[in-house]
Structure 1
Amino acid sequence: MKTGIIIPCYNEAKRIDQQAFIDFATTHQNYHLCFVNDGSTDNTNDVLEKMQWKSPYNISIVDVKKNAGKAAAVRSGSQYMYGIPEITSIGFIDADLSTDFRDFKDLVKTLHRDEKLMVFGSRNTGKTSGIERDLVRGLISKFIKQFILLILGLPIRDTQCGAKVFKTEVIPMIYSKQFVSRWLFDVEIFLRLKKTFGKKNIMQKIVEQPLMRWVHVDNSKLGLKDSIKIPFNLAQIWLNYTIAYSANEVATDQAFGLPTETLITQRKAA
């Protein structure tokens, strides 16, 4: 029984903490790291391959040739990991390790102990110490949160934390269809689960768990231009999952498979 961790990467060659990932992979054989190179224009893939050689049997690389955004990268990684039989839970974290492995392992522990379908980290429960975030991002985050709460209609405090883990049984339900947004796919995940299980039942199947540590790392891939678009993206999501949802269910992907122009790199045991 293993847990798969997806790490989406776009131009991460200079800032990814290679040793931290290598140390984790070599000491945690019950985890499988899947790095998704999302069309990077630097030498990210070379860096990932060097890391893979250090722990060849539980590090894989999904190399997507054309940049498609974090949503598509996580989706590609999930589709790949779903095909590995020994993996019983699949999650994702950010390449900058703003959420560290200790917190992620706690999410996995809760997932299996409490028999939930999804456990996700939260930076906004009031119980977390060691949270660091710059003032501007904090204000933007609060503004966006109000939009998201209105769309979801669920008592969730932090939808956008980049640390979530799921039982494999819900992976096709969440990832078989393309996401509307490149960055706000977390909102879509909750909406898809809500549509499937209903507003009353979904909160019994998921857990929001406070993180002990979360640090914003500079050089975020979400720039000011993207931030300005967020309200419009949220409006698009709302329209898609309320007015047009039924039609989109028919018009989306027909198969649960990886996109074209995707190369998988995984070392096989001798």
Structure 2
Amino acid sequence: MTKITGIIIPCYNEYYRLEKDKFCQFLTNNNNYHFCFVNDGSADNTLELLQQLRQFDPKRISVIDLEQNQGKASAVQAGANYLKELDHIDNIGFLDADLSTSLEEMDNLVEKLNANPNLTMVFGSRKAEEANNIERSFLRNLLSNFVGFFIRHILQLPIKDTQCGAKVFKKSIIENVYSQRFISRWLFDIEIFLRLKKHIGLKDLLNCISEEPLDSWIEVEGSKITLKDSFLIPINLLAIWISYLKISTTSKKITENLKLKLNYNMVK
């Protein structure tokens, strides 16, 4: 039985960057996909473009309109919560609208997920040793390495690239990942791993996720992350670290209290 994968494409002012023909051609060649475009309060004509795109295949293209700009995290969350209610969807992923990671690369990630019943999440990596043809500016690469250092400290996981905008999940895990709002507008990928780590546990998590090297990733001009956003990254990382550290500490205390109570009841 063919498994259907819903792909969320968050869009903010993408009118001049969204390559409509590539999405249409991919759907023509692949009948196991459903695209969910989320307009994140765009100030240009992105919504009109998405509505036109939907006419190509209304059954396999959905458009969600967030009237106010809320950031990529909220856009992806809105798409995930919409797709999980569709009975025919088996997997749910997200992909950047500029197709810096191509649809064909995304298809490779989905095939990897479908081929292994033990996996719940597969994500692309631009930093794996086997990754090829990765094109990005020197400054962006420098910033990525700087941020990556702190991310690895927060996660305590052997993941090389948390921020690649190509990830796909089994539908069964969506509720645990996307039910609550994210702290950060842009660094929500880190929160995804932290939530999975809390839900599944470190040992089991490493056995059910797979970081796959990309054959190609090309930086596209017009990044939505401003200079101001870049300066706020360390503050965002600190907020995420403190918040999830508190959650972990609270959960640990509750567990210890329950154990003490159970021991007391057994003695009594």
Q: What TM-score, normalized to structure 2? A: 0.90
| Equivalent of 1:89 in 88, 91, 96 | 91
Asked if residue 196 in structure 1 is aligned to residue 202 in structure 2, the reply is no
SS of 1:87's partner is: coil
Asked if structure 2 preserves the Cα contact closer than 8 Å seen for 1:26 and 1:55, the reply is no
In 1, the alpha carbon distance for the partners of 2:248 and 2:20 equals: 41
* 2:23 equivalent among 4, 17, 21: 21
Q: For residues 80 and 7 of structure 1, what CA distance do their matches in structure 2 show? A: 13
Q: CA deviation at 1:22?
A: 1.2
Q: Percent identity?
A: 49
Cα distance in 1, alignment partners of residues 188 and 32 from structure 2: 27
Give the C-alpha shift of residue 247 in structure 1. 6.8
> Residue 45 of structure 2 aligns to which amino acid in structure 1?
N
Specify which of 121, 124, 148 is matched with residue 121 of structure 1: 124
Q: Which residue of 1 aligns with 2:41?
A: 39
Paired AA for residue 209 in structure 1: E
Distance 1:184 1:246 in 2: 22
CA–CA distance in 2 between the matches of 1:114 and 1:245? 30
Moved more, 19-28 or 213-222: 19-28
Distance 1:108 1:86 in 2: 16
The Cα RMSD (Å) is 1.2
Counterpart for residue 153 of structure 2:
150
Name the residue aligned to 2:66. Answer: 64
Q: Give, in whole Å, the separation in 2 of the partners of 1:23 and 1:113.
A: 24
Distance 1:101 1:66 in 2: 28
Residue number among 159, 169, 172 corresponding to 2:172 in the alignment: 169
Counterpart residue number, 1:73: 75
The answer as to 2:228 corresponding to 1:225 is yes
| Bigger RCO of structures 1 and 2 (CA < 8 A, at least 6 apart) | 1
CA shift for structure 1 position 246: 7.0
Deviation at 1:244, TM superposition (A): 4.1
Deviation at 1:26, TM superposition (A): 2.5
User: Aligned partners of 1:180 and 1:25: how far apart in 2?
Assistant: 34
Give the structure-1-normalised TM-score. Answer: 0.90
Contact residue 25 and residue 59 of structure 1 kept, 8 A? no
Partner of 2:241: 238
Distance, in Å, in 2 between the alignment partners of 1:241 and 1:145 is: 18
Structure 1: gaps spanning 5 or more residues: 249-270
The aligned length equals 248
SS state of the match for residue 66, structure 1? Answer: coil
Q: Deviations over 1:199-247 (max 9, x none)?
A: 1221001000000110111110011110110011000000110124577
Letter in 1 for 2:211: E
Relative to 1, partners in 2 of residues 1:55 and 1:246: Cα closer, same or farther, differing over 3 Å?
Answer: farther
Greater fraction helix: 2
